[in-house]
Structure 1
Amino acid sequence: MASTDIGERDETVSFDDEELILVDEADRELGHLSKAKCHEGSGVLHRAFSLFVFNREGEVLLQQRAAGKRLWSLYWSNSCCSHPRRGEAMEEAIHRRLWQEVGVEAQLTFCYKFRYQAQFGESGAEHELCWVYVGGTDDLPRPNRQEIADWCWISPAKLDAELAARPEAYTPWFKMEWARLRGEFAEQLERYTR
């Protein structure tokens, strides 16, 4: 996959000591813990989000995670994923992070939330109660190179083919989320993919 550089940025927007929101399986807040500790061992359940942003051509924005990422570095994933910080509302967090990481603004619609745990060997794990959103933008990405190694726009059909041919190149949460969006939430996706 190849990207077109529109204007990169290079700023630190994620910190190991930032406090994330611990939750139970019903998404009730239990307290706070540093991002680093949330991802140690098999992970501690915390609140997160995943964003799927589409352009006017109906293509979804994918990113390749930066080489410096502790978990799943250089794997391809959805447009943006991160965590609300302590005291931060989800609506604020999704727009803040999309701008900081990808350099775009988008109208985002909530689809569903789910819990998953994924182990990345000895490096740690994701254990998240993840809120999934879809949306559209007219903006051209300006990736933050601290977070993103590469990016591309891709049609849903081509993405389906890529996932079937090279599933090992993609993050585990992205594969779960995309399958559910393409199935259970196909009608919502049609707004962006026609």
Structure 2
Amino acid sequence: MSDELVVLLDHDGNRVGSAAKSSVHHRDTPLHLAFSCYLFDDSGRVLLTRRALGKKTWPGVWTNSFCGHPAPGEAMVDAVHRRARQELGAAVRDVVCVLPDFRYRAEAADGTVENEVCPVFCALVDGPVAPSPDEVMDLVWAQWAEVRTAAALGWAISPWAQSQVPLLEAAGLPEWSRASV
């Protein structure tokens, strides 16, 4: 099995090449393309996941539903569908990009750096969720107000989710997610 490739970006967000995912998350992480997705159910609850302890970046930390990196030449929405299946064993529908220009840099306690242009999506789950234990160690369906409170208080959630939650709220969540706002 070959190593997953990520898309490298210049400072202005232009694609400048690719690199093995295993080679880009370290103390001097190059800027690269990623995405985050918040998955809602039909009653408006959002799925939060706790990253598996074997994950290279932010192991054991609670975060948004799932994240990933589009492969070179892969459409972002196709990457969202692919990672939903890989990480959560789930199908998704009604994928909406809410924060197309989200960008962040975060450093973990071990010195590992995330440095990503990371559009943020919301989607509806389409069937059961069966997470991969290599990706997810725990999950919870929560009301958006609970997610907002966790982010505002800086509870042990990923730094990207802490930044994304208030921005998502300001940008306006999709209408179908409003049942839990």
Give TM-score, length-normalised by structure 1.
0.84
What 5-or-longer segments of structure 1 have no aligned partner? 1-12
Q: 2:116 aligned with 1:131, yes or no?
A: no
Counterpart CA distance in 2 for 1:163 and 1:65 is 16
Between the aligned partners of 1:47 and 1:39, the Cα distance in structure 2 is: 12
Question: 2:140 — aligned with what?
Answer: 152
Q: Which range is displaced more, 137-146 or 148-157?
A: 137-146
Flag structure 2 segments of 5+ consecutive residues without an equivalent.
Answer: none
Q: Secondary structure at the match of 2:119?
A: strand
Task: State how far apart, in whole Å, the 2-side matches of 1:46 and 1:65 are.
Answer: 20
Contact 2:42–2:176, Cα closer than 8 Å, also in 1: no
The answer for the alignment partner of 1:6 in structure 2 is: none
Of residues 23, 32, 37, the one that matches 1:37 is 23
Q: Report how many residues are paired.
A: 177
In 2, the alpha carbon distance for the partners of 1:138 and 1:21 equals 28
Using the TM superposition, name which of 118-127 and 168-177 deviates more: 118-127
**Aligned equivalent of 1:109, options 96, 106, 119:** 96
Identity across aligned pairs (percent)? Answer: 33
Alignment of structure 1 residues 1-194 onto 2, 5 Å: 17-107=3-93, 108-111=95-98, 112-165=100-153, 167-183=154-170, 185-186=171-172, 188-194=173-179
Structure 2: distance between partners of 1:88 and 1:97: 12
Cα distance, 1:26 vs structure 2: 3.6
Supply the distance in 2 between the matched residues of 1:22 and 1:94 (Cα, whole angstroms).
Answer: 18
1:30-56 Cα distance to aligned partner (Å, 9 max, x none): 011121221111311000000011111
Residue aligned with 2:90, SS? coil
Paired amino acid for 2:96: T
Kept in 1: contact 2:7–2:17 (CA 8 A): yes
**Whole-angstrom CA distance in 2 between matches of 1:26 and 1:134:** 25
Render the CA deviation track for 1:142-178: whole Å, top value 9, x for unaligned.
111000000010001122233344x241000011111
- Structure 2 Cα separation of the partners of residues 27 and 89 of structure 1: 16
Once residues 170 and 80 of structure 1 are traced to their aligned partners in structure 2, the CA distance between those partners, rounded to angstroms, is: 13
Q: Structure 1 pair 137/122, CA: closer, same or farther in 2 (3 Å)?
A: closer
Q: CA RMSD in A?
A: 1.8
The TM-score with structure 2 as length reference comes to 0.90
Q: Give the counterpart letter for 1:57 in structure 2.
A: S
Q: CA deviation at 1:88?
A: 2.1
What's the counterpart of residue 4 of structure 1? Answer: none
Tell me which stretches of 4 or more aligned residues in structure 1 moved more than 4 Å: none
Deviation of 1:141 (Å): 1.0
The alpha carbon displacement at 1:67 in A equals 0.5
